[in-house]
Structure 1
């Protein structure tokens, strides 16, 4: 048996020995399990329900002998959003680092996880300034990574070769930022990186939601599209032998978030209201309420990539990416 990631049942982490004993009864007991895993044994392969862990089979499927034999559909007891987030972070906090920008998404995870944090940004960028301030406020162990332009160019050339949509400038700039997080996590001896992915889609974090004509439909579309983003992020993490762990995409959190009406998530000009309300009970209110730019902009990575494109004779970043491919 080979297990990449981790498996839980009703909020209890299972050891590899526990999993081996469970599989003696066949794959059926696995269908109730949560976690983030790619599991292989005999001629079988199983992958977690949301497909957080990359693998050769579809998300939530158990394949044996080349055919699908079972579906993985964990069904933990219902709980409040706060209980769901606490459980999701606790299940993932035995090892790893937190990808930290000082915003509410990563701030709440960091406040609950008690793990080292990694912040990435060009020297003097908004993210580095704010993450450093937030880490001091929260008394976090923070590693700051400030890549040079040359290092950004090298990272960009590597990520465009592995991400699903390499010619898309936004996708490439996000992937480049995450490249440095994954690299530093590996240097620190960790394979798991707790990250805030999924929070914007579940709780209404994007600025465009403030003027959305049909917020509920837009949130639903964006949650469905998140599988593409996960594939991008994990492809980058794999370059360093790491993976991104996503507490907000825990089944408990997803269910609790989807039970909240969309009008309560974005209202009065405030985005992610339910998440901020939970965060204020665990981290400083200034961090819970903070509005910040997306990682590729706040880190300065996007502006650096724009400069690289111009210096290489291209008016558009997309043209520059094509030359790298």
Structure 2
């Protein structure tokens, strides 16, 4: 298969009319002798690093290449030519608040319908936060949480599942699980830095449990924080962002997705599953881009508009719940730090966890 994510005709039409959001969950691969990757990079595509021209040296998995580099999101490259960007995110003016919330609700339901059409045996990676809870509720699929026994995510998932009247499968971790998984995850994502490995590990480990139970796909809530204003920095407008408005800061976060998503996709694929991200459907992205500042974030509530839609489907306590980043909520980051120190990589060393990960790959 030389194209993933959609059919060739959809890509051809998107190229012809310059449509960046043609109604897909992302795509990448080869169409009519041209390499393509969607505007948000939702499907990973790799080429040989340093190559001046796109040719036969490309792959969906980085391990298939000698020195892989991500093909630029939103770009096209014909054989013998350098990649050129042909799609950029739309810049619509903010819509009327009630109208855009109706559009967002409708787009979310369309995304779920599109997932169901594929008739996959699917489970949901569930942290108890609003993102994964909404995906779980709309899909009505089994829910799994991963974490160490005393972790925030396990407790939050249990209370959210109780509030939703759902049965929860808890994948409890122990340090040996991380030791075994770290080299597998690092090779799959082609990254060894502590942050990326810490984020990918919970996805991989919950995916392994889901795959053992006979499922084909893992649904995730990825993208909600970037699309809807889930980060503190978009409210503070501090040194971490260049924008001067909340809406501009959210847009900066969306532009970070092409670098982040391949990590998450590869972690789930390495577990033997197909990743499914309903919140990253083109229609949902388009609606998110139309949200005014007051439906994004402020000092009191982040992801305000998204939570308003979610509250139509979820108990209020779940729809309004804040969450921790997965590497911290699962306590994977804490345990990675502990393993690194036990192996002799002390905190006084620069990037001591990254050095520990590198040592496992060399073993």
1:157-180 CA distances to partner (integer Å, 9 max, x unpaired)? 32223335422x222211111111
Q: Against the structure 1 CA distance between its residues 35 and 74, is the aligned structure 2 distance closer, same or farther, given a 3 Å change threshold?
A: farther
Relative to structure 1, the CA distance from residue 59 to residue 189 in structure 2 (aligned partners, 3 Å threshold; closer, same or farther) is farther
| Displacement after TM superposition at 1:83 (Å) | 1.0
What is the aligned residue count?
306
In the TM superposition, what is the alpha-carbon distance from 1:4 to its structure 2 partner? 4.4
Structure 2 counterpart of 1:90: 113
Secondary structure of 1:34's counterpart equals coil
Question: What is the aligned partner in structure 1 of residue 24 from structure 2?
Answer: 34
* Number of the residue aligned with 1:251: 282
Q: 2:164 aligns with which of 121, 138, 144?
A: 138
Segments of 5+ residues of structure 2 without an aligned counterpart are 16-21, 47-70, 91-99, 239-243, 359-363
3-state DSSP class of the match of 2:218?
strand
Q: Is the 8 A contact 1:36 1:245 kept in 2?
A: no
Q: d(CA) in 2 for partners of 1:70 and 1:269? A: 38
Q: CA deviation at 1:260?
A: 1.2
What does the per-residue CA deviation read over 1:45-85, in whole Å, with 9 as the maximum and x for residues that have no partner?
Answer: 6554533222346545666756689968999xx97111111
Structure 1's unaligned 5+ residue stretches are 8-18
- Equivalents in 2 of 1:207, 1:69: separation in Å? 34
Question: TM-score scaled by structure 2?
Answer: 0.74
Which position in structure 2 is the counterpart of 1:180? 205
| 8 A Cα contact 1:90 1:112, kept in partner | no
Please, which of 150, 156, 180 is the counterpart of residue 182 of structure 2? 156
Specify whether residues 296 and 189 from structure 1 end up closer, same or farther in structure 2 by C-alpha distance, changes over 3 A only.
same
1:201 to 226, 229, 251: 226
Contact 1:52/1:245 (<8 A) preserved: no
Name the residue aligned to 2:293: 262
Q: Which stretch of the first structure deviates more once superposed, 117-126 or 89-98?
A: 89-98
**What does residue 11 of structure 1 align with?**
none
The Cα shift of 1:275 comes to 0.7
1:28–1:70 Cα contact (<8 Å) kept? no
Which residue in the other structure is 1:304 paired with? 335
Question: Are the equivalent residues in 1 in contact too, given 2:340–2:356 (CA < 8 A)?
Answer: no
Partner-residue secondary structure (3-state), 2:197: helix
The answer (yes or no) to whether the contact 1:50–1:60 under 8 Å persists in 2 is yes
Determine if the alignment matches structure 1 residue 290 to structure 2 residue 321: yes
Match of 1:107? 133
User: For 1:131-151, what per-residue CA distance to the aligned partner results, in whole angstroms no more than 9, with x for missing partners?
Assistant: 122123223343221121111
- Name the TM-score, length of structure 1 as normaliser: 0.81
Moved more, 140-149 or 278-287: 140-149
Summarize the Cα distance change of 1:312–1:74 in structure 2 as closer, same or farther, 3 Å threshold: closer
**Partner residue, 1:222:** 253
